[in-house]
Amino acid sequence: MSALSVNESITFNELKELLGVTDGNLASHIKSLEKVAYILVRKQFIERKPNTSYAITTAGTEAFKKHIIALEKLIKLT
């Protein structure tokens, strides 16, 4: 979510490389985020090649902010 929050959009391959995960692992996480409407999925063809990109939604941004706040509270407790 952090990569999506600082980029207008990011492709599947960019996310995979950034996170160092397998196609299947990333696809599973993406599907979960899409299901709760935290991300938008855009599929298109660029020079006859399929290209999938993702963007964070308003709901995703709010959920991510709440997650960061919760993490900061945990850090302050230690």
Helix (H) or strand (E) holding 41, with range, is: strand 39-46
- Which residues is 10 bridged to in the sheet? 54
pLDDT tens, N- to C-terminus, the chain (78 residues): 999 999 999 999 999 999 999 999 999 999 999 999 999 999 999 899 999 999 999 999 999 999 999 999 999 887
End-to-end Cα, the chain, rounded Å: 25
Counted domains in the chain: 1
Residue 4: predicted pLDDT: 94
- Report the pLDDT value the prediction gives residue 77, as an integer from 0 to 100: 81
Its domain, for residue 41, covers 2-77
Supply the pTM of this predicted model.
0.84
Which of the 8 DSSP states describes residue 52?
E
CATH at residue 28: 1.10.10.10
